[in-house]
Each structure stands twice: as C-alpha cells, then as structure tokens.
Structure 1
Amino acid sequence: MAKRAYQCYYKILQAFIREFSSEKLQPVFATFIKRYGLVKPTLGKMLVHYLCMENNIGSALRLINELNKSNLKLNFLVDVFGMLTAQGRPLDAYRLVMGAQYDLPSMDVVDYSILVDGLCKEGYIDKALELCTFARKKGIQLTVVTYNSLFNGLCRQNCLVQAFRLFDSLERNKIIPSDITYGTLIDALVREGFLLDARQLFERMIIKDIKPNTHIYNSLIDGYCKLGNVKEALKLLYDLENHSLKPEKFTISAMIYGFALEGNLEGALQFFVNMKGNGFSPDFLGFLYLVRGLCAKGRMEEARSVIREMLEDESVLQLLNRVNDEIEIDSIESFIVQLCEQGNIQGALVILNEIGSMYFPYKRIPTSSAQINMVSCEGNVHTLSHNALPSIREMDFDALYSQMNSLCSLGDLQGATALAKAMISGIEKI
C-alpha cells in the first residue's frame, strides 16, 4: 500500500513538472518529501527541476551538493538546461553548470552547444566564452556549430577583433570552418564597412574549397551596391549563378539600388526586365526604387506599370496584408490601385513611400542629384494642419482621393505624406 502511494505521488509530481504547474506542485512536493524524504536520486533530480522553475538556482545548487555528499549522485536532467534556455534563462542554466562545477554529471558537446547558443543570443558572450573554456577543461571537443554561435554573438556586439582571433584559433583546434562561419564574418565586415577585408575572406573561403551560399553573395553584392559599384556587384551575381545558386529578391533589389546610386535609371530598368525574364523579381524596396526613379523623371505611365507589377508580387501583397492587419483597414492595395487608375501616380508613391519608411526605415535611397531621387513636387507649399485631418474611418474614398489629388497638384508633397500617414496609421492626428 505504501509503495502504491509512493508511486502515485511520484507520477503526480512528474505530471506537474511536465506542465510547469508550480502552484499545484508545491503542496504535493511538500507532502511527498515529508512522508518519504529524498530516498532516491530521481526525487532529488525532480526537486532540482522544481527549484529551477521557481528561479531558485542557489537552492538548486545547494541541493546538488547535499545529494552528492549523501552519495545520491544525480544523473542530471539535461532537459533542465533545455527548459531554462527555452524560457530565455540561459544565464540561470550557466549558473547551474558553473556552480555545480565538477560535481555536475557529464554533459556532451550538444548540451554545451545549446547552452552556448542561448547565452550568445541573449548577449552573454563573456559567459559563453567562459563556458567553452570550462567544457574544454572537462575534455569536451567543441565543434564548428559551437563556434558559429560564438562568432554570431561576437559579431552582433561588433567585437570583430575578438571574433577573428577566435577564427584564427580554429586551425589550432583542428576545426574546419563552415560556410556559416564565413558568412557570419563576411556579413559583419560588410556591415561595418570593411568591404575589402570581406572580399579577401571570401577569396580565402574559395581557395579552401568551401562553397559560398546565397547569403554570403548577398552580403557582398549589397556592400558593393551601397558604394555604387555595380560592375563588381554584377561580377558577383554572375559568379553566384555559376555556382548553381539562384538570386533572391533581396539580391535583385540590391542591384537595382546600386544602379540607382549611379543615377542609371535605364540600367536599373533593363536589369529589372532581364531578371523578370528569368523568373526573378525584387522585393518591395526594389519595386519602390524603380517607381521613385520613374516618377522623378516624369515617366508616370511606366511608373504605373511597375506599380501594377508590384501589386501582383506575392511578397509585396503579404506586406500590404500586414499593413491592413496592423492598422485595421480593409485594403490598402485597393486604395493604391484606385489612385493609379485615377492617374494619381504621385499619390500612390506617397503611400508606398510611407509604407517603406514604416517597415524599412534604414534602407531608403538618400536624396542626391547623382542618384535616382524620390519624386519631389514644385510649387507653392501650403501646410496641412493637424486639425484638418479627419479620421480615415470616417472618410469615403472619393473624399480622400480628392484631397490627396489636390495636395499633389499643388506640389504639397509634405501635406500628401501627412495625409498618407493618417490613412496608414488610422489615427486622427499625426
């Protein structure tokens, strides 16, 4: 009878642990410990799990120490670490490992790698490095997967010197870097403006016969395009295709951006047509760059054609649906279509620009005479007062279109943008 009661309590505790039901677990655990004590390591293991759930890492460590003194050695649950990491608590898992030190039963390289990755993602890069040192002292041979997490963490914190010191140590530790390793480092170099160093690392990767992935090409192509060096970016694009890789929407948009920085609208349009013929299209920004350039040149019919193609692209429609959901309007797509049908291409561009600034605030083409610029209207500017903006939900389309058309006709891009913001945000005042 006592054995059955013991088993019953034990199963109840296991169920509560699985459900992380702390409120239900505490009274049952208290009764169980009072009646039976910690007579088995499995019970101690369960209590350690419970204490971790309660954020009481210090007590968990003291319990591990006491159990080890009583020769109730824990076959420590790896899922405790998994639980803590999944809950965004890798630092607690780290404290548990480091606090138990050599009394902690063995963990394999996968366990350490998961914890290192969690620490890096939460920004505890110093702790991740300490954990790797600890693991090596215990005889654990770390893999490139573990190091990739470290590289990602270091690069996210702009610790490039430390990242490359670690990279140089891979060969001594007989670890072969992967395409992810190179991609992380190349991306960080490009982001920080060290394009020459990034290209040299890319060439080093090729020499070592490690096949670059599309992400690596995208980083370099984007880097060259941001400098307006379309020639070098095109070489990389052709090289990408020679490696049996396909360009992505980001790749196409980056190239269009590069042509834009050169002020080469015709080059951008021809590239767009060529890519479309091969079954590739840009993302929202790529289309937007073309529309801006065409409007700036007064080529409204061509801009209207590009907008129509834009609104047939699945990725663009997904973004517009996201706008619809976030600001609770019926269809911003229909609104843009109607503006185009009415011939108000500038009004449509104002809406598209505002969406671009909402979701891609750091990727606009800066205004310069050497670039394909955003459309600008000339004429007398009159200020649209905040009080003049009615709630979009209270306006019908004809009234909204009339006001938008009037503002663009007067050359008041600022006022038209203000109206667009009101429509997109769905609020009465900006």
Structure 2
Amino acid sequence: MCLRLSTKLLNISVASLCRTKQLEKAEAALIDGIRLGVLPDVVTYNILITGYCQFVGFDAGYHVIHRMKEAGISPNLVTYNSLMAGATRQHSLACCLDMLDEMLDRGIVPDIWSYNTLMHCFFRMGRPYDAYRIFSEILLKNISPCQATYNILINGLCKNGYIKNALMLFRNLQHQGYVPQIVTYNILMTSLCKLRRWKAIMRLFEEIRELGIAPNAITYTTAMKCCFRSRRYKEGLQIFFEMKSRGYAYDLFACCTIVAALVKSGRRRIADRCIAHMIKIGYDLDIVSYNTLINRHFKEGKLEKAYNLLDVAESRGLDCDIYTHTILIDGLCKAGNFSVAERHLNHMKMMRFNCLVASNCFINGLCKAGYIDYALQVFKSSDMRDSSTYSSLVNSLCKQRRYLLAAQLLLSCIRSGMKILKSDQKNVIQGLTRLGTKADAERFKLQVRIAKLLHY
C-alpha cells in the first residue's frame, strides 16, 4: 500500500514538473524515485510522453516507449493516444497513422479519442474528406461520439472553408437531440466573423441567450469584433456593456477591440475613458495593446505621442511586430514624411519581416500624395505584390489620364495569377475610350479575356 501511494506521489511530482516545462527535473525526480525503491508505472511514462510531445517533439516522446520496454512496462491505449496527439501537433500525418497501426498490431483497440485525434490530424493537413471518412467509420463501428468529436468536426469544416457544411451539420445534430456547448457556438461564431457574416453571428448569439447557455469572454469578444468590422458600432458597444454589467470577465483583447473600434468611429473621448479604465484596473499591456494606442495617435496626427508610446513599449522589453512597423509606415506616409517611411520599410526588409502590407501602405501613400512615378519605382524594385498593390497604382494612373500604362499594369496583374477589381478594369476601358483610342480599348478587353482564360 505504501509503495502504491509512493508511486502515485511520484506521478504527481513528475506531472507537475512536466506542466511547467521542467522536463530535466521530471527526469531527475524519476531517477531519484527509482533509487529510493519507488518504481514507476505506465502512468509515469505516459506523463513523460505527453510532456515531451508537447514541449520537445514527437520523436522525443516516442523514445520513451523504448525505456518502457526496458523497464518491462507495456504501452497502453493512453500511451498511443498521447503519441498520436503529439504527431498531430507536429502536423505529421504519417506518424499519426504509424501510431494507429502500431496500436492495432499490439492488439490495443482504439477508442473515441484515437479517432478524434486522427480526424483532427486530417483536418489540419487540409484533407477534410478523409477526416469525414473517419467520422463515418466511428459511426459504423458503433462507437459513441462525444462532445469533442462534434467540435473537432465542426471546427475542421470551418477551418477548411466549409462553413455552410459546418452549419448544416450543426443544425442536423440539433434536430437529433444534440445539445451544443458554448465552445461549439464560439467555433461557428469565430468562422463567421472572418467572413463578416454579422446577421448569422447575431442569430447564434440570440440562440445562446434563448437556450440559457452562459456566454464567455470569447463569445462576447467575437460578437463585438464582428459588429465593429461591419461598422455596427452601436451594437458592438451594447454587447460590451452587457458583458460588463453581467459581471463577465473581459480580457485585454476585448478592451483593445473596443478602443480600436471607437478610434475608427471617431469617438475619441470614449476611447480615452476605455484606455484610462485599462490602466486603472492594472492590465499589463502587450504589444497588441500598444499597437492599438500607437495607431490611434497616428490617426490623430500626434506623431510625438505615438513615438513616445513606442519607446515605452521597447523599454518594457516588448519586441515590435510586423503590425507595429506597418502602423509606423502608414502614419509617416499620412504625415507626408516619405523619406523616413522608406528608411523604415528598408529596415523591415533587413529584419526579414513580411513587408507586403507595409509596402502597400507606402505605395498607396505615395499615390495619394501625387508621387505616382516615385510609387512606380518602388513597385518595380519590390518583389512582393498583390492585387491591392496594383489597384493603388491603377487608380492613380487613371486619375492622371495615363490609361495605357494603367492597362499594362492590370494585364500584368492578371498574368501573375491575381484577381483584379471590376471597377479598375472599367475605369481603364472608359479612359481608353475617352482618349479616342477605341481600338486600344477593344484590344485591352480581348487581352484581359485571354489572360483570365489562361490563369483561371
């Protein structure tokens, strides 16, 4: 009895050390336990496997199985489920399938969590049809799906772009008596938010209330975010105040979402009160929070305050991310300080940041200021372009009646495999027609059709 209790204590110690990423100390505790005569069991090694898979990698976790064999302990279902989860986390479908095969070779019958993990792995690898096949296999084998099974299935469909199928499945499950949890609603609302489906999100939000399911911070924040993205500022603020009045814990992300929306809608005073509230309740601001505040000052033309905030963030040991640099470049362009903005853009390139959005801000700023030739030089020297880059230049060239060059750029965009805005194409055609070069306009239309046929 004493030995059993000692092994249990050893397992608790190893688990605590693994959770805090102290794997070396966990190994030391295991060795000390063996020296004292406390022998580890399968649970001890399963805890180590989970720790190694989570914080080091699948190979390190799998190596523990060899040690189990040396100790005369056979791996069990939990062992292989942990390894499958580690392989999935590493996006290794081959390793996940190997663990399933090894499990079957040992005569271990997979459970619902084995199939859940495999289904999740297929979804993560962008293979939704194979994932759905696993779900069908679960039903054929008369294994009862759990709440996590449905959440994995709905989340996987959403992540792979099948939001309609996810919603249809969700409704079908409800008709069959499935009672969803708030996690399921959060998954659907997050995916709908990315598509800016405001009405669909509000329907789900009302449904949560009607069913008496308690929303959490993610539910409220997602609903607020979608309202603000859809320019429904009033509804977004109502959701925030409801969240606050009902005593739900709202995090720093929710506060930053509110501040960003208030700044965009021109409600500076309320934004200031929200910032003051964030400071009052002692939030430890992260780089996302500073980005929100820096962007606000740039929009108000307060460059000095924006740079002061940047200095404060760096003095606190926070590293500027791609959004920080992009906000700075955009703010400098709006202030007409293009030389400094270009230096900052070059600095981003040296630091190997993804400069596409920042470059687009710089080119767009030059175009709006009328420096179209300067913008074209930057465009030609840049190897990162998207449809937005072309659109800014085409619009500016059309304003300067340089329709032939605008036509060449649009064709270049299509031939690069990118989509163009219908409005840009229409402006170029109308411009060529106005110049009296109808032949050029017809030739341009034909070239656009050919380019689209070749690339779409």
Alignment TM class, shorter chain as reference: 0.5 to 0.7
**Structure with greater helix percent:** 2
Letter in 2 for 1:195: W
Equivalent residue number for residue 334 of structure 2: 376
Q: How much does 1:149 deviate?
A: 0.7
Q: How much does 1:424 deviate?
A: 4.7
Equivalent residue number for residue 83 of structure 1: 83
Q: Secondary structure at the match of 1:165?
A: helix
Q: CA deviation digits over 1:72-94, x for unaligned, max 9?
A: xxxx9664465355334446756
Q: Any gaps of 5 or more consecutive residues in structure 2?
A: 1-58, 68-73, 354-380, 383-456
The match for 1:118 among 110, 118, 121 is: 121
1:133 and 2:133 matched: no
CA distance in 2, matches of 1:214, 1:415: 40
Show the 5 A alignment for 1:23-422: 79-80=79-80, 82-88=82-88, 89-90=92-93, 106-280=109-283, 283-300=286-303, 302-303=305-306, 306-307=309-310, 310=313, 317=316, 319-320=318-319, 355-356=322-323, 376-378=334-336, 412-418=339-345, 420-421=347-348
Q: How much does 1:247 deviate?
A: 2.0
Change (3 A) 1:91 1:423: closer
Q: Any gaps of 5 or more consecutive residues in structure 1?
A: 1-16, 26-45, 50-75, 324-353, 368-372, 379-407
Letter in 1 for 2:204: L
CA contact (8 A) 1:220 1:233 kept: yes
CA distance in 2, matches of 1:311, 1:100: 50
Bigger radius of gyration? 1
CA contact (8 A) 1:292 1:375 kept: no
Q: How much does 1:100 deviate?
A: 11
CA distance in 2, matches of 1:189, 1:366: 31
Q: How much does 1:109 deviate?
A: 2.4
Deviates more, 1:416-425 or 1:224-233: 416-425
Deviates more, 1:169-178 or 1:153-162: 169-178
CA contact (8 A) 2:87 2:95 kept: no
Change (3 A) 1:221 1:124: same
Comparing both chains, which one has the higher relative contact order based on Cα–Cα distances under 8 Å and sequence gaps of 6 or more? 1
- What TM-score results when the alignment is normalised by the length of structure 1? 0.55
CA contact (8 A) 1:376 1:413 kept: no
Change (3 A) 1:296 1:77: closer
Q: CA deviation digits over 1:187-227, x for unaligned, max 9?
A: 11111111110111011011111111211211111112223
Change (3 A) 1:257 1:108: same
Equivalent residue number for residue 3 of structure 1: none
| Pairwise CA RMSD | 4.4
Change (3 A) 1:140 1:422: closer
Q: Secondary structure at the match of 1:87?
A: helix
Change (3 A) 1:107 1:265: same
Q: Secondary structure at the match of 2:334?
A: coil
Identity among equivalent positions (%) equals 17
Letter in 2 for 1:83: L
Change (3 A) 1:421 1:127: closer
Change (3 A) 1:125 1:243: farther
Deviates more, 1:178-187 or 1:133-142: 133-142
- What TM-score results when the alignment is normalised by the length of structure 2? 0.52
Letter in 1 for 2:83: M
Letter in 1 for 2:334: S
CA distance in 2, matches of 1:113, 1:125: 13
Letter in 1 for 2:87: Q
Q: How much does 1:423 deviate?
A: 7.0
Letter in 2 for 1:86: G
